[in-house]
Amino acid sequence: MLRTILILAILFFHSQVQGQNIVNVSTLPLYPGPQDHVKLLIDLSFNSGNCELFLETHSITNDSIQIDVYHCPGPLAYICTVTDTIDLGVFAQGSYSTTIRVHENNYFSPDPCAGGHVSDSGEYQLVVYPISDVSEYSNPSNLVFYSRDSQSLVLRGNTETMKSIEIFDAQGKQVLAQEINSRGKINIPELANGVYMFRLLMKSGSLSTGKLSVQK
């Protein structure tokens, strides 16, 4: 009987250490720009509750972000889910390597939630785009779209009023910057499949921004 109890205890501890807590990581806004106040949303799951956030710390050094979240699940054995919201602030355009570590401690420890072990961790990329949240723009009337036949960007409307266009990839890197001619077509045979962001500058000084899908 004692041997059975010991085996169960070892298995329980092993599952606690090896458990994957991080379910999903996202940003708010979804596509942050240089003017946006960025929050990181970390969806977590634990094998017991109560599992709300006990403490979080984060540090930002150049283009690296380190985030540590501390949780102290209770004794009840049920799946507990929670979303940690980390307020990071405003960033310049670019890509930031983000490390997230989840610390978990036993509810019955002498000093609950002090110390503990790292039960899960992950590496992520926070991308800050050159324009504000592009999810707010729907590329009205397909102002800019990709033509598979000619492998080119096609601009609709009066191209005489358009000055230049910039295209950015999913990492916020500029992959195209070009003046617009009266033909309203821009050859892009080297552009890979994917979703891009565009910024269209009009001669009046106004900007149109949105998302662009390239599927060859």
Rounded Cα distance, 146 and 190, in Å: 13
In 3D space, the residue among 190, 188, 170, 169 whose CA is nearest the CA of residue 178 turns out to be 188
Type of residue numbered 48: S
Domain 137-214: which topology?
A: Immunoglobulin-like (2.60.40)
Nearby residues of 12 by Cβ (< 8 Å), 6 or more positions away: none
Rounded Cα distance, 6 and 175, in Å: 59
The yes-or-no verdict on residue 94 having pLDDT over 50 is yes
Residue 194: which pLDDT band, with cuts at 50, 70 and 90? confident
Rounded Cα distance, 214 and 192, in Å: 7
List the beta bridge partners of residue 202: 162
Q: What is the DSSP string of 12-67?
A: HHHHHHH---EEEEEEESSS--TTSEEEEEEEEEESSB---EEEEEEEEETTEEEE
The yes-or-no verdict on residue 187 having pLDDT over 70 is yes
Reported as a single tens digit per residue, the pLDDT across 117-172 is 898 999 998 888 776 544 444 455 467 877 777 778 888 777 788 888 888 887 77
Residue 171: helix, strand or coil by DSSP?
A: coil
Please say whether the beta carbons of 144 and 198 come within 8 A. yes
Residue 179: which pLDDT band, with cuts at 50, 70 and 90? confident
- Please tell me whether the peptide bond between 47 and the residue prior to it is cis, using omega within 30 degrees of 0: no
Residue 109: which pLDDT band, with cuts at 50, 70 and 90? low
Tokens of residue 149, six digits:
């036949």
User: What are the residue boundaries of the structural domains of the chain, listed by start?
Assistant: 22-128, 137-214
List the beta bridge partners of residue 179: 164
Q: How much is the pLDDT for 107?
A: 61
Reported as a single tens digit per residue, the pLDDT across 1-23 is 333 333 333 333 333 333 479 99
Q: How much is the pLDDT for 97?
A: 93
